[in-house]
Amino acid sequence: HAQKEWWRSAVVYQVYVRSFADGDGDGTGDLAGVRARLPYLAGLGVDALWFTPWYLSPMKDGGYDVADYRAIDPAFGTLAEAEKLIAEARERGIRTLVDIVPNHVSDQHPWFRAALAAGPGSPERELFHFRPGRGRNGELPPNDWPSQFAGSTEPVWTRLPDGDWYLHLFTPEQPDLNWAHPAVRREHEDILRFWFERGVAGVRIDSAALLAKDPDLPDLAADPEPHPFLDRDELHDIYRAWRRVADEYDGVFVGEVWLPDAERFARYLRPDELHTAFNFSFLSCPWDAGRLRAAVDTTLAEHAPVDAPATWVLCNHDVTRTVTRYGREDTGFDFAAKALGIPTDPALGTRRARAAALLSLALPGTVYLYQGEELGLPEAEIPADRIQDPMYFRSQGSDPGRDGCRVPLPWVAGMPYAGFGSQQEPWLPQPVDWPSYAVDRQQRDPHSVLSLYREAIALRPLFGDGPLTWLPASDGVLAFARAGGVLCVVNLAPTPAELPAPARLLLSSGPLDEAGRLPQDTAAWLRA
Ligand code: TEU
């Protein structure tokens, strides 16, 4: 690549604004909090920040229900503050990504309010998916599509007093837009311009494979081809138009494209479509050397022909935190298992999470890091009467939802609410042991998870941009080299692993044994 494209090897830090840092002391994280912590983020060494939706929102789904894509929610700050934040971050060499939610809007969005007021058959309703119901009196939903919230068996249709039903793949407060309508496309291209004009370097596209729907809205057949609402061909035309906008600003896309089929996934990664998309393969991969190696190989193979960098994700605001997941016997990504309260061993989970950090930061491509992952935070248990995530309510309480990974961060051990904010209790309760994970403590401890992340991010450029070569290793050991002459070894086997002889140790996720060998669930970086 003639000119270095920063996004091909970046470390992107996901800021869940509501829970990052509370600048005004009202219990909710905000832009003032982020601005005050920019030195921390610069010190961590991340290249970019991805902000989860910070727009005006009734917060029925943590801001993924947007009422105005061009305004900052007053709980977070103002547009002027967002502009300042983007500029201040850039001065520190940190780029900004915003999170665009194109599949649906909030039911408080002016378009949806106008559609409700205008009534059945109106042009205002054409911006959404309104339909009469089935059954003799229209009392049955127009089709049988399943909710996109894990654990939910509720219909994706809600009936209005005027008889019409409207489609919402997520909550009833998130009506789906009709992407066959030209005004919807125009509006979103304008929204992209609005944020690129304000200096953002990229955009995360929420639920990117869901926007286009079969205009007939047919029932969901077994193995439908094409699928009525997932991964439809129309999407590629939409993203090609988006790419033309992004190219005017050198902007970058990362699509949230959840697709089981690698070949179909890769079709979004084109020079005239998305630059990158999240690769979630680690989220469902057990802590097993063979399976991890296969996940890496599959990911690299699917990216090779399309000239898009791979991305690596250990955790985000929708899944169980890494430490808790890896502390379990079955380390797979499974909301139901979480609901059943499968036991987890925090010490084991932390050891593996540290090793996984060195593994993912050594791989070619972009790494996404979710706030608190660098502190080794575990999933928190939220008392039922404090849960806010709609997933919990939509599943009738059978799934605890995603609040356990969204708890406000601990900054200062000795302060009220672990220094998240000063006056009011945080919007989600922090576990009693939260101060032990606080940033100030970890900064003073050279063996903390935070120190490991900081050192690893600083050393990561040594791996260079070159490809990965697997090295021969015994059972249960992953070993690879990168063109820069740096090696990564991860031992998942119960027996300690010998490190390659002439190599010099750069960093390890835990102590070596007395014989200088790599113990189980430990990773090391070495200079060849
Ligand atoms: O998630 C999209 C998505 O596919 C969800 O089904 C997600 O995987 C869910 O948590 C598991 O059932 C995005 C956002 O990341 C999520 O926070 C939002 O709730 C969702 O879109 C709706 O906007």
Query: Which tens digits make up the pLDDT trace of 169-223?
Result: 999 999 999 999 999 999 999 999 999 999 999 999 999 999 999 999 999 999 9
Cβ-Cβ contacts under 8 Å for 150 (sequence gap 6 or more): 335, 336, 391, 395, 399
Q: Which residue's alpha carbon is at the smallest distance from atom 22 of ligand 1? A: 64
Average pLDDT over residues 329-347: 72
| pTM given for the model | 0.97
User: Tell me: the pLDDT tens digits for 4-38?
Assistant: 799 999 999 999 999 999 999 999 999 999 999 99
Cα dist from 512 to 175, 450, 518, whole Å: 54, 19, 5
CATH number assigned to the domain covering 6-102+179-210+217-457? 3.20.20.80
Q: Which of 237, 247, 248, 261 is catalytic?
A: 248
pLDDT surpasses 90 at 394: no
Average pLDDT over residues 429-441: 98
From the CA of 316, give the closest atom in ligand 1.
15
Which sequence spans correspond to the domains of the chain?
6-102+179-210+217-457, 110-167, 466-527
Mutate which of 64, 103, 370 to test ligand 1's pocket (most atoms within 8 Å of Cβ)? Answer: 64
Asked if 110-167 and 466-527 have one fold, the answer is no
Q: Which two tokens stand for residue 380?
A: 């928190």
Residue 318 Cβ contacting ligand 1 at under 6 Å: yes
Residue 391 alpha carbon to ligand 1 centre in Å: 10
For the chain, give the percent of residues with pLDDT over 70: 97
Q: Cβ distance 486 to 506 under 8 Å?
A: yes
Q: What CATH architecture does domain 466-527 belong to?
A: Sandwich (2.60)
pLDDT surpasses 90 at 502: no
Residue 207 alpha carbon to ligand 1 centre in Å: 7
Is 47 tagged catalytic?
Answer: no
Residue 399 Cβ contacting ligand 1 at under 6 Å: no
Per-residue pLDDT band for 111 (boundaries 50, 70, 90) equals very high
From the CA of 64, give the closest atom in ligand 1.
23
User: Tell me: the pLDDT tens digits for 438-489?
Assistant: 999 999 999 999 999 999 999 999 999 899 999 999 999 999 999 878 999 9
Q: Is beta strand 477-482 parallel, antiparallel or unpaired with respect to 366-370?
A: unpaired
Q: Which residue's alpha carbon is at the smallest distance from atom 16 of ligand 1? A: 318
Per-residue pLDDT band for 317 (boundaries 50, 70, 90) equals very high
Position 483 scores a pLDDT of 85
Position 340 scores a pLDDT of 63
From the CA of 170, give the closest atom in ligand 1.
22
Q: What CATH architecture does domain 110-167 belong to?
A: Alpha-Beta Complex (3.90)
Per-residue pLDDT band for 336 (boundaries 50, 70, 90) equals low
Cβ-Cβ contacts under 8 Å for 460 (sequence gap 6 or more): 11, 361, 362
Average pLDDT over residues 298-318: 95
Average pLDDT over residues 413-420: 96
pLDDT surpasses 70 at 1: no
Residue 64 Cβ contacting ligand 1 at under 6 Å: yes
Per-residue pLDDT band for 3 (boundaries 50, 70, 90) equals very low
Q: Is 165 helix (H, G, I), strand (E, B) or coil?
A: strand
